[in-house]
Amino acid sequence: MQQIIQWLEQMSVTHYGGNSVQDYLVTLMLLVLGVFVARGARFVLSRLLPRLAQLTASDLDDRIVERTLGPLAATTLLPFVTIGIGLLEMPVTIRRLLNNGVTVAMNVLFAVMVLRVVDIVFRHGLPRWRGQSKQGVTSQALEFGRKFTKISVVVVFAVGILKTFGFDIFSLVTGLGIGGLAVALAAQETLGNVLGSLQIMTDRPYDVGDIIRVGGHMGRVTTVGLRSTKLLSPTGVQIVIPNKRLAESPIENLSVFRGLTVELTVGLTYDASAADLQEMIDVLKNDISAHDDVDDEVEVYFRGFGASSLDLHIVYFIPDVSKRLKVRSEMNLLIRQRVERQGLAFAFPTQTLHFAHESQAKSP
């Protein structure tokens, strides 16, 4: 026992860097205690908060508790770190730097919690409200609102961190204002895309999931971002189009229609009789309308006399736009099969030359 007392006295008189070994051990024990307190707080909160969240009908608070539990429990460690810094002797600048570091850590933890809450609200809460209300809130607007809110949160906490280190926020904002013109000139294309995304959200020419055609490209809208819109083509290729170009180009939204109307002209050779043409019209009309993916209202008629063909005009309607390629292929094969079955032939540009007999060609 006497040896332990002497060892403790020895630690209290042995100094390194202005602090005794005993001071370092006390600080270390305090930090270890803080870690155990943080783990205990996480354990208690993980049992208590979910039970409180289950008292409500919505699962939104359950998601918030699950996503913010870790950072919330970690904040209980920071007071122990602050006390430990206060127990040690150190230069004022180092002490200020460490205390500022604790403040930054606190800001970061709270920022992480707020950002996670924003994600949950915009991705789970507001879409439900959108579905239950009659307000015209598009998924693009929700995504833009989510990103804008998160950027605002980051800016607010960043300003708080800068103030912690003694930065003059007013001077910083003034400097940014002076350099803002140069940045704007250098980022005209980016700003144009951002403004284009705002215009798209305001006009709402399409939504995520719609099939659109613009500038020779066609596909299903998968993502609407601040800079660009991404389409997935029928062949599985991703197409990225800047929002500025979309805002300035005509957009065909195929999803707002109740289907797709297909028109095509079939040219038959001139050796087909009137009876052959009428029979062909009846056969095509009946067989096309009998297809499961084609509307019953099918039009087939004799359009007129072409330069080298007798033209039949066919109009049919595909209710499900997503099946347009499959249905058109099947219809084209069906038309060819029916023409061949009727003993007719497709026309192609030809010229018939008549040569007069030599005796007839001579003048009397």
pLDDT above 50 (res 112): yes
Q: Say if residue 321's pLDDT is above 50.
A: yes
Give 79-84 contacts, CB < 8 A, sequence gap 24+. Answer: 79/34, 80/30, 80/31, 80/33, 80/34, 80/37, 81/31, 81/34, 83/30, 84/27, 84/30, 84/31, 84/34
Give, in order, the Cα–Cα distances in Å from 200 to each of 110, 231, 244, 267.
Answer: 34, 15, 9, 43
Percent of the chain with pLDDT over 70: 78
DSSP string, 260-316: EEEEEEEEE-TT--HHHHHHHHHHHHHHHHTSTTS-S--EEEEEEE-SSSEEEEEEE
Beta pairing class for 310-318 and 299-305: antiparallel
Architecture of domain 260-341: 2-Layer Sandwich (3.30)
Fold type of domain 191-256: SH3 type barrels. (2.30.30)
Instruction: Report the pLDDT value the prediction gives residue 132, as an integer from 0 to 100.
Output: 42
Q: What's the pLDDT score for residue 325?
A: 85
Average pLDDT over residues 90-113: 89
Alpha-carbon radius of gyration of the chain: 38
pLDDT digits (tens, 9 = 90+) for 130-156: 544 444 445 666 777 788 888 888 888
Which pLDDT value is given to residue 134?
41
Give the pLDDT score at 333. 94
pLDDT digits (tens, 9 = 90+) for 165-197: 777 766 666 655 555 555 555 556 666 666 777
Report, as an integer, the average pLDDT of 7-16.
57
Q: Where in the chain is the domain with CATH 2.30.30.60?
A: 191-256
Give the residue among 112, 119, 116, 111 at the shortest CA–CA distance from 159. 111
Model-level pTM?
Answer: 0.52
Residue intervals in the chain for CATH 3.30.70.100:
260-341
Each residue's pLDDT tens digit, 205-259 = 888 888 888 888 888 888 887 778 899 988 888 999 988 888 888 888 877 666 7
The token pair at 143 is 């995504």
The reported pLDDT for the residue numbered 330 is: 93
Question: Residue 239 and residue 224: Cα distance in Å, rounded?
Answer: 12
